[in-house]
Structure 1
Amino acid sequence: MYGPGIAPPQPPPARRGTVIGLRVLFAVLPVVTLGTGAWGSVLRLAVVLRRPLDWVLVPLVALIGISGFVMVGTARDERSWQSNLGTSLVLLCMVATPTYFLIMDIRGTRRQSQPAPLPVPPHLYPYGYVPGPIPGAAPGNGPGISVPPPYGYPQQPPVPPPPTGPRIDQVKAELDELSDYLRKEEGR
């Protein structure tokens, strides 16, 4: 009645071979495409981890990879600054993106595979001990004696008695009248 309820169903975990295969595919993608497809690896991270930083990196990595490739292709001389900068950008995408992808993907997989810690209800004390005297013990046994609750069964807060008063009594009477009326109508 007071518990957290039933947990929503979780999707079955991916097989280890599938995870490793996808990790290798997206780590090799920037190298095979010479930096122009590096955005695909970061897009995979953004979809799986759902971090805002990864969503910002997707267009940034695409821009760096493609602009580096274009700078190398449009340079008039192999020793021009455009060619050198473009080559540096392509190499940056080919090395930095797989490294970042592997680090973040492995970290994200570890975090997702670890179970979330269970929240401790605020009315429980650490380790399940509730301060107070032992029930049924003679007074004067000493302060601070505590009794552990049964293992695995946290103590529930006491349920307050229902409120009373003239307004509550009036509502109860009206509900009783309504119940009687409905029973009479049902019996016709």
Structure 2
Amino acid sequence: MQTHSLIAHPGFAPAAVKKVTARVTPDGEWLRLRWRIEGAQKLIVPPFAGKGRADGLWQATCFEIFIQPPGEAGYVELNLSPSERWNAYDFVAYRQGMSERSFPREPSCAMRKGEALAIFDAAVPASALPSAPWRYGMAAVIEEEGGTKSFWALAHNADKPDFHDPACFAAELAAPDRA
């Protein structure tokens, strides 16, 4: 299990959110992901829409992971919404050659929100992702009341938020121990 503190992009300050952490837990046939939002009193959660693929999820509260095998220019982008909508894309290089990634079954998503804390959990079929080891970046778009959007990632490297930037792929997942 690896837990990371995400950083809000300095050009897009949150209204009430104080901290966002993200966690990756490989679990056999599943990759379990968790984002924890502290200061969630103004958080806007997209309404339930049921499972299914959708584009443009990043335009509202959304959670993302980017996965890149070592030595490759290509990477996978996975978008997960509290609405239960999701999508996955393959890129052949930085923002190039985008195509929808095949998935053997849909990810499972759940959001729990209290006054001060929200937790978003997802379980993603491991068979749908590249085999570890890989570099990855976890990110979140957080929408709050009053039209405030903040963009959280492991790192930022530009004037505008860009989760596709290789600088954001700041964590590594080792290959599973087969012993």
TM-score tier, shorter chain, comes to under 0.3
TM-score (norm 1): 0.22
- Higher relative contact order (Cα pairs below 8 Å, separated by 6+ residues): 2
Larger Rg: 1 or 2? 1
Would you tell me which structure has more helix in proportion to its own residues? Answer: 1
Would you tell me which structure has more strand in proportion to its own residues? Answer: 2
TM-score (norm 2): 0.23
